[in-house]
Amino acid sequence: MQAGEAAVTATGEADALTISKRLSTCWSGMTADHLPPEVSATAKRFILDTLACCVVGARTEAVDAVLRALEATGQKIQGPARLWGRDGTLPADRAALVNATAAHALELDDFGGCGHSGAVVIPSVFAVAEQTGASGRDVLLAVVAGYDIAARVLEGAGGYRRHNDLGWHSSGTCGSFGAAAGAAKLMGLDADRFASALGIAGTFTGGIWSFLVDGAMTKRFHPGKAAETGVSAAYLAAAGMTGPHHVLDAPWGGFFSTYAPDIAEPELALAQLGQAFRIQRSGIKPYACCRTIHAPVDSLLLLLEEFSASHEEIAEVIVHGNQQTVLQFDRMRIDALLDAQFSMQYCLAVAALRKNLSLDQFQPLQTTDPQVRRLMQLIRLVPDRILGPTDYAAVEVVLADGRRGEKQVHVAKGHADNPLSAEEVEAKARSLMEPVLGRTATDGAMVLIADLETLPDIRALTSLLVPADGIRL
């Protein structure tokens, strides 16, 4: 063997051991037959939920801004991929950008995985699928691939709590990998080009939490940008662009060393690879607010139920969390939708009053209600607890008659271990889709999703996602 050949062999062996190459080798060789029936069933639930979130989120200011920017830069041109909840088409990467922004625009989309995997992965996969006329069976497999790799990257980066505590918004930073994986799988890229797609996506990934200071729209945009980045990365890899196969584990300039210094656990990205599908750990939201607030909401409602007490009997509510709880959710001033969705005071006050935190409790904002304002004043957050990676703040309620109690819900409604029922998922989706699409199209979409593995062309489904009133770009 010549020296050059030895070097190539050594490089190839080293490359085969990288995390992204092992992820790519596994998923490039995966077929739909490898998916257990329960995994396919889960994927269909998340597709239904995400499409519904996209449809209702398509008419928001954030999506309007993205479309105006595309128009101003000459990029709002017709393409093969539809815009859901609007009437128009765009090239695949631009459609992924718009639809993924819409999916996250109202804080209704799923959680777990990379943070909000559905908002990033599903628009990416569907955009490529519309261009290729892919089958529902292939779409299901690609969606599971995207969820799996997005989640594994975040797990390797220290997990949701620790990675986000550094200031990163994981739906953006880790979502790009999931979008690239879903697109690469649907495009049938081999292991090398699949790994290049991950490398290209990781080169340009990002997203930070500064939007919380003033309620900026960029939070809604992060999944959109991650989706666009992932789809573009897959097409670049397919065209021959190489990406770093050491993108995750390079000791200097790698994703883990750069985005998760001192907290990364790279081995978790490979745990039970090909056997445990991470989509099974994601959940569907019952409330239209930040998922971290859901557990305190459930705690408060359970306490009021146990005491048989009404909101009128509340004298004080104390939320026991850590410093990050206070930093992220202690928000009395509500000027915009995002402020309300990240305000512990607003969410707990409305929940106590209405026993409901659906979208209509945020649009319009309920801050003019004197009862909401009164209850918000009774709620305070204190950083007096140590919270582990899976812990949520506890809630203490003091009633006017002196009774008091504390509860800490560890698995809030919607979590994989406390899931919404099939009927609840369908009711949520219908409530979001039907006002935009009409009953006939909503019924048709739900029927096709329920039997998605038999659908020969995904465009039969996406053709139903056009608004009944003909709203145009």
Work out how many domains the chain is built from and give that number: 2
Q: For residue 355, is it within any domain? A: yes
Residues in Cβ contact with 398 at an 8 Å cutoff, skipping those fewer than 6 apart: 314, 315, 316, 317, 318, 404
Answer with the one of 224, 248, 281 that is the final residue of a domain.
281
Domain co-membership, 90 together with 230: yes
Amino acid occupying residue 200: I
Same domain, 191 and 79: yes
**What is the predicted pLDDT for the residue at 12?**
52
| Position 439 in a domain | no
User: Does residue 90 form part of some domain?
Assistant: yes
Domain boundary among 407, 425, 445: 407
The upper half-sphere exposure of residue 260, i.e. CA atoms within 13 Å in the direction of its Cβ, equals 26
Backbone angles phi, psi at 319, to 5 degrees: -100, 115
Going across the sheet that includes 314-320, the strands are 379-382, 314-320, 394-399, 404-407
308 and 243 within one domain: no
Q: 170 with 63, same domain?
A: yes
**Containing domain of residue 74, as a range?**
16-281
Short-list 206, 50, 214, CA closest to 139:
50
pLDDT in tens, 399-457: 999 999 999 999 999 999 999 999 999 999 999 999 999 999 999 999 999 999 999 99
Residue 464 in domain: no
Say if 226 falls within a structural domain: yes
So what's the pLDDT on residue 429? 98
261-300 residue pLDDT tens: 999 999 999 999 999 999 999 999 999 999 999 999 999 9
Backbone conformation region of residue 472, classed left if phi is above 0, alpha if psi is from -120 to 50, else beta: beta
Q: Are residues 152 and 205 in the same domain?
A: yes
276 and 297 fall within a common domain: no
pLDDT digits (tens, 9 = 90+) for 336-348: 999 999 999 999 9
Question: Phi and psi dihedrals of 90, rounded to 5?
Answer: -145, 165
Among 231, 262, 281, which residue terminates a domain?
A: 281
pLDDT of residue 16: 66
Q: What is the pLDDT of residue 469?
A: 66
Q: Is the full-model pTM beyond 0.85?
A: yes
354 and 374 part of one domain: yes
